[in-house]
Amino acid sequence: MASFSIDQTESRAFYQSLTKQLHEELDELEPTLIQTRRTLHQKPEISGEEKETSQLICNTLREIGLEPRLMNNDVGVVADMTLGTPTEDAPLIAIRADIDALRITDLKEVDYCSHNPGVGHLCGHDAHTSIALGVALAAGRVKELFQSEWPGQGLRLRFIFQPAEEICMGARWMVEQGALEGVSAIIGLHMDPEIQAGTANIRYGVMTAFCDEVHFEIHGRGGHAARPHHGNDPITTAAQLISSLYQNLPRSIDSRMPAVFTIGQISSGLAPNVIPEIAELKGSLRSTNDQAREVLHDRIQNIASGVAQSTNTRIEVLFKSPLPAVVNDKTISAALEQASIDVLGLEQVGLIDLPSMGGEDFSIYLQHVPGSMLRLGCARPDQKTVFLHSPYFDIDERVLKIGSRILLQAALLLSLNPQLIQKGN
């Protein structure tokens, strides 16, 4: 465990007093958070179309006196909140929640099942949104403590409700629209159905993989299926290319460096008795190291070139939608770890040993400001594990108040010791 210190006795007393009050306030707010989450779960919206979700967020924030800013195309929300009288060097701490849903049918048999056919909150973004709203609601309730009991203390927060995480575009949109202007640090969390509700896991350093879409367009020569010698079959080439990539890429880099390449989409031809002109493949490359990523890019090009030469076809390779890895800042991770311990207890907080091969566009924010993301356990103790992106995914709703407490207390820790933020790497 990395400790996050609060140097001044007065600051420690303030933190302890405030966290006790937050526990009480979020206990009272829990039914509201659950209802908010279920409302969002019933009305999921896909990436880039989260207009009703954004409006619900705005309405909730206005009710507590904030002035939320609706972003371009009415999707995404940013709102600032100041508690007490922050010092001149008080950091602005951003709390990020993603708000979009997936194109997956929700098959759960619950009252709050998705009412939008073919779309479902099956990655926990409804919970992330509700947790961030819980931070705002709870913070609004403890404003008086800053003024009456601790007049020298203050906290500056920015709430970033981001669209389109699932297509890895939303964070870029928010940054382009100034969501990070003046921000000192950013924190967030993600549901983790592999650990029980009431637990949290922290990762120092690289948390998720670099992600690249890889597109292949194979140009052959069409012809009759009964006379393959008259044509040049791009489907045969596609099969050879996939086999070569799967066989050779893992042996191209140090086996101790996690990396994975997968072809997930194949399209070619319009009739069973026709050799088509073109075959298209689309895949995903995941890596956790810059050097390994560069080697794999070069190797993919070389393998495609070799297969093209041996089959007398032309293969075009295109790398698209590059997404950096989430690299958690050491100091901010320590604040999240300390806040998690304060909320859950030491035994309920663990460290993540290895990075995930998944992608998360939280990484885009980390190109501009230091930050960190934690994994919050959401599995129900009485049910079999159902993973993210499953049509049956659900959460133990106790995590809502837990997540709100952890994020708000982590923001408070960072605010009480702002000089440490610049030291985190």
Residue 402 to residues 29, 275, 345, 378, Cα–Cα distance (Å): 11, 58, 12, 10
The response to whether 166 counts as a known ligand-binding position is yes
The response to whether 123 counts as a known ligand-binding position is yes
User: Cβ(283)–Cβ(380) under 8 Å?
Assistant: no
State the virtual CA torsion across 399, 402, 407, 411 in degrees, nearest 10: 180
Cα-flanking dihedrals φ and ψ of residue 392, to 5°?
-110, 10
In the DSSP assignment, the letter for residue 123 is: S
| CA count, 13 A, side-chain hemisphere, 105 | 4
In terms of Cβ atoms closer than 10 Å to its own Cβ (0-12, 13-18, 19+), residue 148 is: exposed
The response to whether 190 counts as a known ligand-binding position is yes
Query: For residues 249 and 155, what is the distance between their CA atoms, to the nearest angstrom?
Result: 49
The response to whether 397 counts as a known ligand-binding position is no
Query: For residues 91 and 185, what is the distance between their CA atoms, to the nearest angstrom?
Result: 8
Query: For residues 356 and 334, what is the distance between their CA atoms, to the nearest angstrom?
Result: 19
The response to whether 23 counts as a known ligand-binding position is no
Instruction: Kindly state the helix (H) or strand (E) to which residue 52 belongs, with its residue range.
Output: helix 51-63
Query: For residues 29 and 37, what is the distance between their CA atoms, to the nearest angstrom?
Result: 12
Query: For residues 204 and 372, what is the distance between their CA atoms, to the nearest angstrom?
Result: 8
Residue 116's nearest CA partner among 56, 39, 168 is: 39
Sign of the four-CA dihedral 284, 287, 293, 295: negative
With a CB cutoff of 8 Å and minimum separation 6, the contacts of 135 are: 95, 157, 159, 404, 407, 408, 411
With a CB cutoff of 8 Å and minimum separation 6, the contacts of 13 are: none
- Binding residue ranges for Mn(2+): 123, 125, 166, 190, 389
Q: Annotated binding site: which residue ranges?
A: 123, 125, 166, 190, 389
